[in-house]
Structure 1
């Protein structure tokens, strides 16, 4: 059985290469059969709002909406509760399947036996 991977993306269009790298790693791991949990924090929270992932354009990279769709299909996507609140983003503002949760849930996932956490 593949290990669980928890990926936290702390940026969005403000750091496109770093954000895209986090999404690429999460999508690749999910496609390989790993259980993947993608967390969007800081400016990355905006990427879970419909249409916003398409604003991150990076030459020679898989389009972010495609990566996000893959992760949503094969894993889970969570927006940090404090980050969402600071940006006035609610559950109704997010793509279908994206949840809002806080630090206790992130810590639980990241410290789970066999889990690997990466932060971008």
Structure 2
């Protein structure tokens, strides 16, 4: 976990004197330290980092400068997602970031610039940040830094809940897979997922139906559904649509429950829900 120290308003060389004292008295000598500095106060930081065996990275933000000191022996985790199918890279990166301590970084590389751009959007949406993005030869990369998720009213603004409405069912395999692949991507970004199956969408809720659907690049649909449900998604089947198709509560896949129109409309009306339709 990285330690953040604010030295805003302290000019050089006093900022570097403060940094020297902080690093000298760290409880954990393997800890990364990030100093928030006023612009221009980074003078002398390189000498402090070298004195204590740290590497120094200086980055400029809108109103301040960050001086990041990392013990020279610390190695940033790296992953190459070249060749992975969407939304696989987003899910992989989200899963790794979730395990990292706040302040730690992950370097992601890919042969696809579009994939890196998609991952960057997911990282920012999850509350973490992209500190660097670019190209190295034929590979594209970004460096993501795990940040603490902000709670409170910001959850409504950033729409940390996703409602996926599915009305096609197993008759349209592409839309059926998209429902649960998008759900996995949202879960990997730290979002709360609700899936509402209505009309033909309830066909996926009947035990055994999804087992006959298999995309050549992904696991069987029923396995994907189970993974999403075990990941914490709430899955509803429209009661009226289910009755039209002779589907009762005993016929439902484990983890799916019947719900009425009021539940669906309440979900649609909640401004915290970003709504996706398939």
TM-score, normalised with respect to structure 1: 0.89
Equivalents in 1 of 2:168, 2:216: separation in Å? Answer: 18
Report SS of the residue matched to 1:58. Answer: coil
Deviation at 1:111, TM superposition (A): 1.7
Q: Is the 8 A contact 1:12 1:56 kept in 2?
A: no
Specify which of 78, 84, 99 is matched with residue 257 of structure 2.
99
Partner of 1:31: 188
CA-based RMSD of the aligned residues comes to 1.6
Structure 2 regions of 5+ residues with no counterpart?
A: 1-154
Partner of 1:82: 240
Deviation at 1:28, TM superposition (A): 1.9
Q: Deviations over 1:18-77 (max 9, x none)?
A: 111122101221233211001112222121122211112222134212221122121111
Q: Is the 8 A contact 2:214 2:220 kept in 1?
A: yes
Report SS of the residue matched to 2:246. Answer: coil
Equivalents in 2 of 1:116, 1:62: separation in Å? Answer: 26
Between stretches 54-63 and 97-106, larger displacement belongs to 54-63
Equivalent positions of 1:1-120 (< 5 A) are 3-73=160-230, 74-120=232-278
Q: Is the 8 A contact 1:10 1:19 kept in 2?
A: no
Q: Deviations over 1:61-116 (max 9, x none)?
A: 34212221122121111101111010111111112221111221011112213211
Q: Is the 8 A contact 2:197 2:238 kept in 1?
A: yes
Equivalents in 2 of 1:67, 1:29: separation in Å? Answer: 14
TM-score, normalised with respect to structure 2: 0.41
Relative contact order, higher structure (CA 8 A, sep 6+): 1
Structure 1 regions of 5+ residues with no counterpart?
A: none
More strand by share: 2
More helix by share: 1
Report SS of the residue matched to 1:60. Answer: coil
Point out the structure with max Rg over C-alpha. 2
